[in-house]
Structure 1
Amino acid sequence: MKIPYHNAHVCKGIIFAGRSGQLHSFSAKDGSYVSTWKHPDAEKVSDAFKAIAQAEKVEVEKAETVKDDPSSTLQEDGDEPPAKRQKTAEAEDAGYAPTQSAPAEKSKGKDQAGKKKTQARGARSLVSKVPDRPLIAHITSTADGKHVVVITAHDKAIWVFEHDLAGNLKELSKRVMPKRPSSVVLSPDSQIICADKFGDVYAVPLIQSETWAPAPSRQVTSKPEANPLTVHSKRNLESLKSQLKQIELNKRDSPNTDGPAFEHTLLLGHVSMLTNVILGEQEGRRYVLTADRDEHVRVSRYIPQTHVIEAFCLGHKEFVNALTIPRSRNDILVSGGGDPNLFVWNWSSGKLLSKTDILSLAQRVFPTTSEVAVSQLESFDFPSDSGKVPFILAICENINAIFAWELTSENTLSHPSIIQLPGSPLHLTFNLEDESSPKVVVALDPGAEGATPSLNIYSFQLSEGTLATDTTSSVSESAAGESEDLVATETEVKALLYTVEHLRKKTGEAEEEVEKPAGASTEGQA
């Protein structure tokens, strides 16, 4: 099956959509194809699969030859040395043929079994030579649309492109982060705020400085701005100690490395794997909101005071994976993850305002569902006669639906609606350029049969407070072509794209997380 589109982003009338290591652009107006950028490693994967296909073809042809002419087995494969075959033939001509054929047959059987093992080892060797499959994990853009930022997961890289506002990209830079990024957001001051799976948040300039260079013969450690003399609360002091300990651990783990050879600043750190980062603003001051696998949502001040923790939003019992702040209600945060509920907060104070059950809605789609893994939360304002109405949208892993609620003035989620889909949604993004007709672009997994397009555009309509889809269109599927790097088994697609449920801790794992020293990493997070 083909790997489906698994994320999308709308930028100035252009839809950018990721599919494995390929980034396609389409017109948001009519879905027509514009261009493609391919990760350099995509060709390596294609070449490796071509080599495997050729090797399998040779093996099939060899097997067919043996089947048609069994006598060719010894001649082609050389199961016995030529001298031994000649002596055997001479003995048979002289009347001294072996009287017991069983040992010969047994030997032949061993030889055939040995050939099968050799072929199996050869196949495994070929597969092991396939490089890691490139995966576009995140797409975003600047407010003016002139720059597009892409995160690729397998090589931990941040790519920055110049955008001509017509869907064509020009590569400007590639920067490889110390650990694999899990979430990124662009700040108004042209900083890429990147959270990683090790628990750290870095700031990287959107455009690399031509004059910056690391100081010679020293390690780049990006120390925090604060020190124990400038921190005035116990909570913030503990956070600062955690960051300083993390820096020392990094030095110990890699004492002979100079770190990334580009400008970067360590802003803050969690003890646990980070899953999401967004920015908030209140009364002219910016904040960094981070979520982690340990059920925490932290509110920190923005640069240069990221060591100051403003609040914690505590109450989740499972991992937190999704965050959103509505544009028209920037004092409200909605969070979700592995819990059966979505949480509504006043994020600046950390006060929980309400909860909304999402599990019961998922059970209407799949009655046997016992747990949900919220993979994404988004918000947008729907135009109405009384003004803009904020809505919250959620998708869950392996649930073929979009769930939507109205965010009321009482800070509750009401008028729940279920928009059923022909496949499992992997990502959604909005096209709000026409405010009178908001649309959502959904990347979904149509399954092995692939009867449904994997990138669809839905229009919304509002009826008695409930959100529903009105019309549907799709983008051109032919843009991806027949590249070998887009072909995978259903099992491979699941392993590649369905990763949210894996954040849920298994029995006994929670105790291990508690005992882990501050700043330490869990195995496999890099």
Structure 2
Amino acid sequence: MKIPYNVLHVSGNVLFAARGGKLHSFSLDDGTHLSTWKHLDVEKVEAAVKTIADEAASKSTVSSALEVAEGGGDDEPPAKRQRMEEPKDEVNKTAGNEGAQESNAAEGSEGTKVEGKTNQKGKKNKNKQNSQPRKDNHISRVPDRPVITHLTSTADGAHLLAITGHDKVIWVFEHDGKGQLTQLSRRTMPKRPSSVAIAPDLQIICADKFGDVYALPLIETTPPPSTPQPSSPAPGASKPVLKPAANTTTVHSKRNLRALVNQQRQMELATRSKSENDTKTEGPSFELTLLLGHVSMLTSLILGESEGRRYILTSDRDEHIRISRYIPQAYVIDGFCFGHKEFISAMTIPTSRGEVLISGGGDEELFLWDWKAAKLLSKTSILSLAREIAPELTKVAVSGLQTFVYPTEAGNLTYVAAICEGIQAIFSWQLTEDNTLNRPSVIQLPGKPLDVAFKPATIGQPPSVIAAVDAGEQAQVKSLAIYSLIMTDEKLAVGTTAFVSDGELEAEELDVDGKVVQGLLYNTENLRKQPTEPGEEQGEDQGEE
């Protein structure tokens, strides 16, 4: 199977779709392919996979040739192999020599000693070790596969931001509005980013999996001049490495010469260790400001605004939603939204209802909040809706949550759409004036959805939903499709279906095992905590951090 599209983003009339370490752009008018950007590690992985495949084919050819040479073909029986074994007296005669050789070899091997063992026993252990099958280490030889985990853009669409998780890099591109990208910067974050947003003042607000939130400018500025180093070490700093005053020309006895060599060796090790530590403690070479922190893994981050003031809303694995003020008062916490019993993986604020927050994760329901007042407004079951297509379900993990507007003659209607990991459907509700989710509907998909994006309605055209699905081994199912939405009794359904033109792109993708896709793209359910003791309940309120 091929690695499917896993992240989508709509900017104007252009669809950006990430597939592993490649970023493609398509026209939403006719689905034609516009451009492709790919991570440098994509070629490294492809080269490594090709090398392994060639080695495997070479080994298979050699094995087949040996089988034929030894009579393993279909035309004649295998030839009788001659037993090669030394007489017992010869083994006893040369036991001393073999024992000496094995002892010398053992001294040279790391962490291995041979003490008080007979030669025959040592030989037996040696044969036993050689008889064990060698483990295949091909997996360790393949570099980490690059995967684009997040896509977002500025409000005007002039800049696009992407995150690759394996190397913790934030990429910023300039977008010409027609799908063509120009790379502007590449910045490596201290920890792996887990969520990102671009503020109206062109600040990137980035949350990471260690619970910290950073701010950095979208457009990279000239780095500040380096701070001069003090002439004397600061208190608590490591002491400088001392060099021995003697040298080989001033030392004459063997004993002193041996001591000098040991001192020089220790000095080299200390210098190397100091250099490695200095490298590890070096900070980023770009402007980076720490805003706030949780004591748990951050899972989602969005920006809100109320009464002219901006806020940073963050959620974590420990069921917390925190409302913090925006820069420069991000240290001020205005409140917490408590109520979830499982992890929170997705949040969204409707553009038409800036005071309403919808959140979901490992719970059976979606939660609606007055986030400014930290007040729970209502809850809606998503598990019961998912059971309409999969009755055996006992839990869900919300992997995506978005809102969009459907224009009607009576006015604009706001809808909430959700996808759950491993469930082949898009679930939608209408957000009513009393802040509840009504008129639920199910849009079934041909595969497991990895991400969805929405194209706004235009004159004479209803809104559309673009779905990136994992079709598994179903070669006839397209990974990327555009569905127009129609309304029946204010419930959403699919009208027409269109596909993007990616036949050539599909052919260029390498075949991978399903386990690779599972490990790369399915990580929402992994956020769920497991009880440490039988009968232990999860999700208890842990209080403020």
Same fold at TM > 0.5? yes
CA distance in 2, matches of 1:270, 1:390: 32
Paired position in structure 2 for 1:392: 416
CA distance in 2, matches of 1:63, 1:473: 49
Paired position in structure 1 for 2:268: none
Q: How does 1:57-456 map to 2 (within 5 A)?
A: 57-70=57-70, 117=133, 120-121=134-135, 123-124=136-137, 126-213=138-225, 215-217=227-229, 257-432=281-456, 434=458, 436-456=461-481
Distance 1:433 1:331, change over 3 A: same
Distance 1:259 1:416, change over 3 A: same
Q: Is the 8 A contact 2:212 2:294 kept in 1?
A: yes
Distance 1:37 1:129, change over 3 A: same
Count of residue pairs brought into register by the alignment: 448
Greater mean deviation of Cα atoms: 253-262 or 498-507: 253-262
CA distance in 1, matches of 2:52, 2:407: 54
Any idea what the Cα deviations from partners look like across 1:432-475, whole Å, max 9, x if unmatched? 16264211111111112232111111111111111111111111
Paired position in structure 2 for 1:40: 40
Q: Is the 8 A contact 1:46 1:483 kept in 2?
A: no
Q: Is the 8 A contact 1:213 1:263 kept in 2?
A: no
Aligned-partner residue type, residue 321 of structure 2: V
Aligned-partner residue type, residue 193 of structure 1: I
Distance 1:156 1:343, change over 3 A: same
From the CA coordinates, give the structure whose radius of gyration is larger. Answer: 2
Shift of 1:147: 1.0
Other structure's SS at 1:172 match: strand
CA distance in 2, matches of 1:307, 1:477: 46
CA distance in 1, matches of 2:483, 2:507: 27
Shift of 1:68: 1.2
Shift of 1:60: 0.7
Distance 1:513 1:332, change over 3 A: closer
Other structure's SS at 2:151 match: strand
Distance 1:511 1:267, change over 3 A: farther
Paired position in structure 2 for 1:233: none
Shift of 1:476: 2.1
Q: How does 1:471-510 map to 2 (within 5 A)?
A: 471-483=496-508, 486-508=510-532
Aligned-partner residue type, residue 277 of structure 1: L
Aligned-partner residue type, residue 524 of structure 2: V
Shift of 1:513: 10
Distance 1:506 1:206, change over 3 A: same
Identity percentage over the alignment?
51
Q: Is the 8 A contact 1:446 1:453 kept in 2?
A: yes
CA distance in 2, matches of 1:180, 1:262: 17
Any idea what the Cα deviations from partners look like across 1:355-397, whole Å, max 9, x if unmatched? 0011001111111100000001100111011111110000000
Aligned-partner residue type, residue 286 of structure 1: R
Other structure's SS at 1:49 match: helix
Distance 1:214 1:153, change over 3 A: farther
Q: Is the 8 A contact 1:52 1:127 kept in 2?
A: no
1:50 counterpart = 2:75: no
CA distance in 2, matches of 1:215, 1:112: 61
Q: Is the 8 A contact 2:6 2:468 kept in 1?
A: yes
RMSD: 2.9
Aligned-partner residue type, residue 190 of structure 1: L
CA distance in 1, matches of 2:188, 2:32: 33
Aligned-partner residue type, residue 61 of structure 2: E
Distance 1:392 1:480, change over 3 A: same
Any idea what the Cα deviations from partners look like across 1:174-203, whole Å, max 9, x if unmatched? 101000000101111111110000000101
Structure 2-normalised TM-score?
0.77
Other structure's SS at 2:388 match: helix
CA distance in 2, matches of 1:164, 1:16: 13
Distance 1:454 1:419, change over 3 A: same
Greater mean deviation of Cα atoms: 430-439 or 325-334: 430-439
Other structure's SS at 1:452 match: coil
Shift of 1:333: 0.4
Distance 1:482 1:111, change over 3 A: farther
CA distance in 2, matches of 1:157, 1:214: 23
CA distance in 2, matches of 1:319, 1:512: 10
Distance 1:35 1:111, change over 3 A: farther
Shift of 1:508: 2.0
Shift of 1:64: 1.0
Structure 1-normalised TM-score?
0.80
Shift of 1:142: 1.1
Distance 1:256 1:495, change over 3 A: closer
Any idea what the Cα deviations from partners look like across 1:469-506, whole Å, max 9, x if unmatched? 1111111232424446x432111111111100000000
Shift of 1:284: 1.1
Distance 1:254 1:445, change over 3 A: farther
Gap runs ≥5 in structure 2: 73-80, 87-122, 231-276
Shift of 1:258: 2.5
Select the residue among 440, 451, 466 that pairs with 2:491.
Answer: 466
Any idea what the Cα deviations from partners look like across 1:132-155, whole Å, max 9, x if unmatched? 000000111111211110000100
CA distance in 2, matches of 1:256, 1:366: 49
Shift of 1:171: 1.1
Other structure's SS at 1:378 match: strand
Q: Is the 8 A contact 1:22 1:39 kept in 2?
A: yes
Distance 1:423 1:54, change over 3 A: same
Greater mean deviation of Cα atoms: 253-262 or 369-378: 253-262
Any idea what the Cα deviations from partners look like across 1:40-63, whole Å, max 9, x if unmatched? 000000010011001001101101
Distance 1:112 1:270, change over 3 A: closer
Aligned-partner residue type, residue 8 of structure 1: L
